[in-house]
Amino acid sequence: MTLFKDVLSNPSQLYFIGEISCNHNNCLKTLLKTVDKLVDVGADAVKIQTDAIDGTGSTMDFRTPCFTVDGGTIWDGKNLMDLYKEAYTPLEWHKDIFDYCSSVGIECFSTPYSDSTIDFLSQFNMPAIKVASMEAADLGFVRRCASLQVPIIISTGMINFEEARAVVKVCRDVGNFDITLLKCVSEYPASPADMHLLTIPKLKDDLNVIVGLSDHTLTHTSSIVSTVLGARVFEKHVKLDDTIFGPDASFSLTVDQFGDMIELCKEAKSTLGTSNLLSKSKNPSYSRSIFVVRDVRPGEVISSDNIRIIRPGYGMSPNDWDLVIGNRFALPVKAGFPLLPEHVMGLG
């Protein structure tokens, strides 16, 4: 069983994915160094992106206005093919990346962007496959990804709730029930005020799926809050350090910052405890109980003259006062010792 599969079956576990994307500066050595640092900070998985730039991938090399990015993004004015060539992770690197991740003990999977790259990725023993927000509305594409019959993770940044329901149905229709939906805002970077994280429990409860967060904000707040709301899978863009440049660098965390996020999310998870309204302190010194305050003999009547409710909490509960008052001691008890049931006739 892969670690991710184990996480799916264990609600107490969280899973952290470092999305390297194009933060390798076109250097395989830099990418592998990033993998090493992700291992060091406790990441569970490395994710890369798999596209083709030969015309069979997610776009084509047209120079018409439609193929120029606009809309107030950090990439405005760039031609789509030029942008994707800049962000490209060469297909010939993939085997080395997957093999290296396996050798250092971290899981690795990818996001395909075309039918050809789904087929390409099928040769690797991936613990999951990721569908990006931009592809999630294409049910045929989702179906082909789900048909690989590995757990599928789908970002929801560009679909509404009913489209998310349709995506889940498509996966289940092909027999893939290991579905994780990631709450996502497809802005780069995203503003915390736009996150609307209360959709996380709605996705979980209404669609009966594992939920998580694909977070493009520049802080840890959204990830921490998501943990409290039930998110179990976390994806964030990462870069080796601040020397990395490129299309995604400005909204990526350094690996060290990613490690801080992991620790904070785990700490947030640990605070949830159980659903009991109140939990008692483990230290009895802080609570009150019934103590014997005067030496007593067997047969002596228990009264307010020989017992009191005081700290610490090693004796019978204060709520047992009416139960013991007027009864008799079954044993001799020295002053300063807690009153126990065996000290009381009929209770020992």
DSSP 8-state code for residue 306 = T
Residue 33 and residue 138 in contact, taking contact as beta carbons nearer than 8 Å: no
Q: Say whether 284-343 and 3-51+88-272 share the same fold.
A: no
3-class secondary structure, 118: helix
> How far is Cα 149 from Cα 171, in angstroms, rounded to an integer?
9
CB atoms within 10 A of CB 236: 25
Selection from 66, 341, 325 nearest residue 333 by Cα:
341
Which pLDDT value is given to residue 279?
A: 58
Please give the single-letter amino acid code of residue 243: T
Q: For residue 95, what pLDDT band results from cuts at 50, 70 and 90?
A: very high
What is the CATH code of the structural domain delimited by 284-343? 3.90.1210.10
State percent of the chain over pLDDT 90: 85
Half-sphere exposure of 95 (CA within 13 A, CB side): 3
Residue 333 corresponds to which amino acid? V
pLDDT, greater one: 312 or 61: 312
Amino acid at 183: K
Q: 245-259: per-residue pLDDT in tens? A: 888 999 999 999 999
CATH number of 3-51+88-272: 3.20.20.70
For 264-302, write each residue's pLDDT tens digit: 999 999 999 877 666 566 788 889 999 999 999 999 999
Total-model pTM: 0.85
Average pLDDT, the chain: 94
Cα–Cα dist 199/81, whole Å: 34
Q: Tell me if residue 342 falls in helix, strand or coil.
A: helix
pLDDT category, 344, cuts 50, 70, 90? very high
Residue 241 has pLDDT above 90, yes or no: yes
Phi, psi of 258 (to 5 degrees): -60, -40
How many CA atoms lie less than 13 Å away from 303 in the CB half-sphere?
6
Q: Domain spans of the chain?
A: 3-51+88-272, 284-343
Say which DSSP state 315 is in.
S
Segments in the chain forming alpha helices (H): 3-8, 28-40, 80-87, 94-104, 115-121, 139-146, 161-173, 199-207, 221-228, 255-272, 321-324
pLDDT of 26: 93
**Identity (one letter) of the amino acid at 174?**
V
pLDDT band at 84; cut points 50, 70, 90? confident
pLDDT for the residue 275? 74
